[in-house]
Structure 1
Amino acid sequence: TYTLPYKAAVDAGAASIMASFNEVDGIPATGSKWLMTEVLRNQWGFKGFVVTDYTGIPEMIAHGMGDLQTVSALAMNAGIDMDMVGEGFLGTLKKSLAEKKVSINEINRACRLVLQAKYKLGLFTDPYKFCDPARAEKEVFNAENRQIAREISAESFVLLKNKNNVLPLKKSGTIGLIGPLADNTANMYGTWSVAALFDKSVTVLQGLKNALGNDAKILTARGSNFLADSVAEHRYVNVHNPTYKRDTRSEEEMIKEALKVADKSDVIIATMGEGSEFTGEASSVTDIQIPETQKNLLKALAKTGKPVVLVLFTGRPLALKWEEENIPAILNVWFPGSEAGNSIADVLFGKVNPSGKLSATFPQNVGQVPLYYAHKNTGRPLAEGKWFEKFRSNYLDVSNDPLYPFGFGLSYTTFNYSDVKLSANTLTKGKSITASVTLSNTGKYDGKEVVQLYIRDLVGSITRPVKELKGFQKVSLKAGESKTISFNISENDLKFYNSDLKFVAEPGDFQVFIGTNSRDAKAASFSLK
């Protein structure tokens, strides 16, 4: 389940690997010889060096693996080459060598691999190769790189809803820009942006101004803070950047001001969601809805009857059932980065047609979590098209369906998929077959579509997922244009680790799905002989 992307990275030439914090079969990964040596080096042929995560070695003490000397020796013998910050190697290896708890060969191996990496990077020739202030002044935040950042962020946005084609917006009339993220430089980047140049980020307000010029009027109101609790807000929002300032007015006062702006506006852009440090490391939550104080504002804006576009900032899947039922347009922008405002304006006004797809399933509520497309069946799966059946796997209060499935994302145009065509109905070991569809842009806008390929193994020696993503292609089509999109399917696409941990493809029947997301796809069948 988890190793395949890392194996692909090794095959592609990754020069270093970081050990994870978690344990595998009761042994922390940092001390797992099976993982770091048997799998990574012996099976995969990895030739680079392995580094711990931050203080990964001393953290094994809390796992109950021994004192610093013991866990440092454990890591060295497992195949760890570099100790990041923990200082276990620095402080204990000499003693462990004398006590024969580690060998000089293991120490030499680690030193050799680290030195080889420095040599390949050119650091013996020029130790300060990447520390050139003149180069940094020319390259950091230059116009070319900012343009690329703008394009990349716009490509990542996911259009979740667009009832009655509210989007793209017209560059005319009066636009009400409301929400705690409307003019907020500090929270455009997302977590772990501790070295970001916050004062240079383009806010949503600035991006709208840049796009509109004098073509339309913009009215603004903050409307709410991130959280109702001032202490919690300060603790979570200002982790790395203290520039965010809380509005000290009451929730009622702020909503009242926002409604005055809404009353004078033709359309409302509501910028809401999470702050940069609400997600990421050490930022787990048990409630994955938009924070209540922001949701109260959104409900008040919806009651005005004006068209509302929710520009959603988030670093995690959120439960947006109320928003889906009551807000006409929802654009998920994640955390767009330094060019946030410009890229958001590009999509809102149609300069860029959104084409992003969800890389995680969005549930109806937190009680459905964990929820993912590649799940396994139970012995009593709910029949397709059913909401509830007694003695089946379902809920009493909500359907099994996600709010937005994995791979979901709308466009300003529409796409039509033909039935799936297979070059053959039988795949012979060592050979391949081709699965193809004709994709047509049936709307009024040029656009990009991510065509997704899924496969289901119908019978296996161990239970198999109901569907697995095996490929995708991002395709550009002019309005009215059609293209044939093909995927090559080989025996390798059908392999999995069986109960003996052997990577095998088992003969039998398979289904192939091609479509716009993991739920909405056309199917065909083939067999592996």
Structure 2
Amino acid sequence: MKKSCFLALLLFLFGLKASAQTSSAVIEKKIEVLLKKMTLKEKIGQMNQLSADDMETNFKVIQQGMAGSVLSITNPEIANKAQRLAVEQTRLGIPLIFGRDVIHGFKTIFPIPLGQAASFNPGLVEKAARVAAVEASETGIRWTFAPMIDIARDPRWGRIAESCGEDPYLTSIMGIAMVNGFQGKNLSDPSSIAGCAKHFAGYGAAEGGRDYNTTAITERQFRNVYLVPFEQVVKKANLATIMTAFNANDGIPSSGNEFLLKEVLRKEWNFRGFVVSDWASINEMVDHGFSSDNKEAAEKAINAGVDMEMVSGTYVEYAESLWKEKKIAIETINDAVRNILRIKYSLGLFENPYVKGNTKEVFYKEEHLKIAEKLAEESIVLLKNEGQILPLQKPKTIAVFGPLANAPHDQMGTWVFDGDKDHTVTPLFALKEKYGENITIIYEPILKYSRDQDSTGFDKARKIAKEADVVLLFLGEESILSGEAHSLSDLNFQGLQSKLLETLQKTKTPLVTIIMAGRPLTIEKEVTQSNAVLYAWHPGTMGGPAIINLLFGIVNPSGKLPITFPKNVGQIPMYYGHLKTGRPANGSELNLNNIPIEASQTSLGNKSYYLDSGNEPLFPFGFGLSYTNFEYREIALSKTILKKDDILEITLSLKNTGNYQGTEIVQLYARDLAASVALPIRELKAFQRIDLKAGEEKRVMFKLPISDLAFYGMDMKKKVEAGKFDLWIGSNSISGEKVSFEVK
């Protein structure tokens, strides 16, 4: 019986593989048949993407067969009208693909991606992306410009909000989850939308955290850090499309970088989808000084491997003349069109080009809101809980202050084009709805918005706070202060928010600070002055109920930081996986407050650290508290001497030693002690979410393939090098008991 079941399973799996291969072969045959029918102009038209800003003009362009895509149509009727022109009134009837920035939700808004990464829950993140796809596709959108999987290590950069943080492994896992959610089990499903990993590549390393700025990343850094998530989503998630970055690296703009687009993406990774430029990034190569004019920019982008141009129109204007001048080859154009048609066929657009538009049936469905609430709960990070003030224990009077307590628009966060603030449930609303009958809730925003400089309400706040059992203070950033082109050089609270916190702290009433922001802020002083701190990011549509559930202990916080929090801007860039210097500090160095007067030049020890703030962050990557406590013990390795093709098993006992049921995110880090090139002092290699009841203990196992220790070394080839390794399992990137092993 077992043998027959096994044979049946093999036949089933073989059938699935054969079916996929057949489907792929059929699509390739269709592409070649269609390609032979196309004129040069029609091919160039497929490489042209329009913006929905002027649809009357667009309709004419579409009817002429000179558009392959339109971005930002969200009205099903307009989408169908445009599609009918393409399908029914052009010579070949090639359907359009409609794109949109669906970054962290379409109508139901989820936490910003940086917040989602804090959940360390890829399964839940995938569900959120699926919801976004279901809602967006009902309007005709079949392509999203997400996920953004740039490695981001500078919180001055506004787009860090769209990222999954500083770590290549975590970003890879979250990127795969998002792509799988967007694209579903089959791209041809009408509720699936093509993913677009961005920005290829290195955009998150912009100098000074200033958007669009230049980068200086070496090839080894690219391969060991910045390209890792892109390679993973290409190889493990069947990614449909990739977007080039705005930045120039080492003087070469990404939209003209043949090494990245041809050598790495196509030849090494065998990427079969298509590449789209970012908004006008092709003609911006003129501004970079990389091209003399738009015509040369088009030439360089086409030859580099950018298949579709977003809005700037240089392909339509110059591609034909460039071909006539033999500056671009017809096969280069054919390859670009093949890549575009491949995704259109895969999406089933030729068979089902139109959309039903049953938006009322899918927008803000109850099941969608539940996923949004759960993801918000798991993304929020408890940074401080002095004297176990949280969870709140039946206070009679709660004073609620701050500009973010009831800010439905700002709560949704950056890069939200389609969310409706009228559907946002704020913390104030959720608090009143859940506890308003039993608790006296006094609400005064005092500051109307995060940049408010008006202190006239401070005396009123002081009086209210003195009469309350606890103060809930909601601070942070308006959504407009993070996101694209919203870089900051100062990461302190804007306006008089810090002054308001200081005023309330002096009342001696227990103070709980809840922060909603699109990036790590420099909050060292504010953390010290608060009794408890929750970092909620911008938590989305259902952020209010999620926050209240955490404050009252209905849910135990489990979020962990996906990004290091610096003490001040001067420490940036600060990230856990840095290289070790030849003179590392050990924490015992003198600082500004204890340097002797007229000390000799070498009396401070000649170590690498800041005299005024040291080397330690405010909070490390992976940090996050719980209402309970977890004990790690009995860490054991299956072997201490391994071969390069072995799998190392690491086991440990994890016990919940506190009084609440909780979830611990167990993190595994490794370090290669001596290699052909210097490597990070720690690298995240795996993590697990472990649920434990109070007093419960579990044995946890990790299986670490030794191949996961591979890197690009001196010879720029990826491999595991023999040597000694350290390994830590703990609750964050600076904790954990160290164990060691050797690879022969």
TM-score, normalising length: structure 2: 0.67
Residue 445 in structure 1 maps to residue 660 in structure 2? yes
Is the 1:224–1:255 Cα contact (8 Å) retained in structure 2?
A: no
Unaligned runs of 5+ in 1: 231-249
Secondary structure of residue in 1 paired with 2:412: coil
Instruction: Give the Cα separation in 2 of the matches to 1:88 and 1:437.
Output: 59
Poorly superposed stretches of 4+, deviation over 3 Å: 225-230, 384-389
Pairs within 5 Å for 1:46-61: 46-61=271-286
Whole-angstrom CA distance in 1 between matches of 2:447 and 2:676: 55
Aligned to 2:457: 254
CA contact (8 A) 1:361 1:405 kept: yes
What does residue 166 of structure 1 align with? 389
Instruction: Pick one of 268, 271, 286 that aligns with 1:43.
Output: 268
SS in structure 1 at match of 2:457: helix
CA contact (8 A) 1:313 1:333 kept: yes
Alpha-carbon displacement from aligned partner over 1:383-417 (angstroms, at most 9, x marks no partner): 25556542111122222111100000000111011
1:374 aligns with 577
Counterpart among 396, 401, 404 of residue 619 in structure 2: 404
Partner of 1:154: 377
SS of 1:306's partner is: coil
Is 1:124 paired with 2:350? yes
Matched, 1:29 2:254: yes
The residue number in structure 1 matching 2:138 is none
Shifted more, 436-445 versus 283-292: the winner is: 283-292
Do structure 1's residue 185 and structure 2's residue 185 form an aligned pair?
no
TM superposition shift of 1:281: 1.1
- Give the secondary-structure state (helix, strand or coil) at the position aligned to 1:418: strand
Query: 2:4 aligns to what?
Result: none
Task: Work out the CA distance in 2 between the residues paired with 1:202 and 1:293.
Answer: 25
What is the CA-CA distance between 1:25 and the residue it aligns to? 3.2
Equivalence map 1:55-454=2 (5 Å): 55-66=280-291, 67-128=293-354, 131-134=355-358, 136-227=359-450, 250-251=454-455, 253-383=456-586, 386=589, 389-454=604-669
C-alpha distance in 2 between matches for 1:29 and 1:139: 38
The amino acid across from 2:356 in the alignment is D
Once residues 678 and 708 of structure 2 are traced to their aligned partners in structure 1, the CA distance between those partners, rounded to angstroms, is: 17
* Aligned amino acid, residue 276 of structure 2: V
Aligned ranges 1:455-470 → 2 under 5 Å: 455-470=670-685
SS at match of 2:496: helix
2:6 counterpart residue number: none
Q: Which has the higher helix share?
A: 2
Q: 1:324: how far off? A: 2.2
Q: In 1, are the aligned partners of 2:404 and 2:450 still within 8 Å (CA)?
A: no
Q: 1:483 to 1:309 in 2, by over 3 A?
A: same
Contact 1:211 1:346 in 2 (8 A): no
CA deviations on 1:317-337 (whole Å, 9 max, x unpaired) are 111111222211000000110
1:476-495 paired onto structure 2 within 5 Å:
476-495=691-710
What is the distance in 2 between the residues matched to 1:495 and 1:191? 36
- Give me the identity figure in percent: 42
User: Contact between 2:391 and 2:550, CA under 8 Å: does it hold in 1?
Assistant: yes
- 1:239 is matched with none
Displacement of 1:292 after TM fit? 4.4
3-state SS, counterpart of residue 310 of structure 2 = coil
CA positional deviation for 1:26: 2.3
Q: Does 1:10 align with 2:256?
A: no
Q: Normalising by the residue count of structure 1, what TM-score does the alignment of the two structures yield?
A: 0.93
Relative to structure 1, the CA distance from residue 308 to residue 20 in structure 2 (aligned partners, 3 Å threshold; closer, same or farther) is same
**Offset from partner CA, 1:409-449 (integer Å, 9 cap, x none):** 00011101114211100121211211222111111111111
What's the CA shift string for 1:300-358, capped at 9, x where partnerless?
A: 00000000000001111111111222211000000110111111111111111110000
Decide whether the 8 Å contact of 1:302 with 1:327 is kept in 2. yes
1:522, 1:501 → 2: CA distance? 32
Q: Decide whether the 8 Å contact of 1:359 with 1:407 is kept in 2.
A: yes
Q: Which runs of 5+ in 2 are unaligned?
A: 1-224, 592-603
What one-letter code is carried by the residue in structure 1 that aligns with 2:551? L
Over 3 Å counting, the alpha-carbon distance change for 1:228 and 1:213 in structure 2 is closer
Instruction: Tell me the number of residue pairs that the alignment of Structure 1 and Structure 2 aligns.
Output: 506
Distance 2:250 2:525 in 1: 41
User: Match for 2:301: what amino acid?
Assistant: A
2:585–2:609 contact (8 Å) kept in structure 1: yes
Q: Quick one: structure 1 residues 26 and 2, their matched pair in 2 at CA, closer, same or farther if it must change by over 3 Å?
A: same
Which of these residues, 510, 517, 526, is aligned with residue 725 of structure 2?
510
Structure 1 residue 163: Cα displacement: 0.5
Cα drift, residue 78 of structure 1: 1.1
- Judge conservation of contact 2:450–2:477 (CA < 8 Å) in 1: no
Q: SS where residue 537 of structure 2 aligns?
A: coil
Say if 2:558 and 2:663, in contact at 8 Å, map to a contact too.
Answer: yes
